[in-house]
Structure 1
Amino acid sequence: MTDQTQERVIIDGGVAVGVDNSASSMRALTFAAQEAVRRGTVLHIIRAWSMRTTPLPKDWPTGTVPSVEQYEELVCADTEQLVTGRLGTDPGCEIRIHAVHSPPPQALLSASRGADLLVVGHRGRGGFSGLMLGAVAEQCVRHAACPVTVVRPSV
């Protein structure tokens, strides 16, 4: 945990993947982990968050508002749980989780400036289910500073 809320991602190499708990991002996480293992590099897991999208524990006191630091801790803990649930305790590569207080496109595009590869799911939790490519994936494909892999579901 840092003393300041992270608003952009600065990395030096490796595979970066966006995770938001959607089925599409979980497929992207699996693909990105396999690619990081294949390349022998670090897997950077990018979790963009806002106070509106942060999962709160069921036992959180009604009517209380967490601090920004508490929100960030909740996002980190939730992301660690997602990663362990999907990849297990030994994914075969070093993992670094980046909880970024930023809209998803900005978080992923900032990560792309230092990544060797950016992996995203074809669409996230929002928008219209019939879209072939979600807004975040489209922004990444158009503006990323590194190669982008869009992971689609099996057809």
Structure 2
Amino acid sequence: MNRVIVGVDGSDGSRAALRWAASEAERWGAPLVAVWAWEFSPLIVATNAPTEIEELSQAVAQRLRETLVEELGEDGADRVEAHVVEGTPVRALLDQAGADDLIVVGSRGYGGFKGALLGSVSQQVVHYAPCPVTVVRAAGR
């Protein structure tokens, strides 16, 4: 395995995926790559959120760093190759991946019968990835 690539968005599912991916990367001695994708939305302009692309990207990078530290600790976060990408999560993950990588994503799940269904990002990644994909469910789901 070349690298373990994990999609992160701050959700419980992505945090579970991050923890699982970190463990798997350590097990295989592979680098861990965390990808947080964001898209510019006209709704942002209607709020007090920063509207400059660079400001938005920096804000997302800060959230990614905070998430890495919260889930992996300071030392663990320092070992992660972090990528903040403007674009869709699916495209961001697929663009990072090669045939010898592993992609790890979370699944939001719903419980009951619907709990068996994948979220839209995980479903698309599973279908189009050039490499193996693991979908991790958050605890209690």
Q: Which bracket does the TM-score occupy, shorter chain normalised?
A: 0.7 to 0.9
Letter in 2 for 1:112: A
Superposed, 1:5-154 pairs within 5 Å as 13-52=2-41, 65-91=50-76, 94-113=79-98, 116-123=101-108, 130-131=114-115, 132-154=117-139
In the alignment, structure 2 segments of 5+ residues that lack a partner are none
Distance across 2 between alignment mates of 1:64 and 1:49 = 14
Instruction: Write the letter of the residue equivalent to 1:118.
Output: I
Aligned to 1:59: none
SS at match of 2:10: coil
More helix by share: 2
| Structure 1: tracts of 5 or more residues without a match | 1-12, 56-61
Identity %: 38
Given that 2:69 and 2:77 are in contact with CA atoms closer than 8 Å, whether structure 1 keeps it comes out as no
Q: Give the alignment's Cα RMSD to 1 decimal.
A: 2.6
CA contact (8 A) 1:15 1:116 kept: yes
Distance 1:66 1:137, change over 3 A: same
CA distance in 2, matches of 1:152, 1:63: 33
Count of paired positions: 133
- Displacement, 1:115? 5.6
TM-score, normalised on structure 1?
0.75
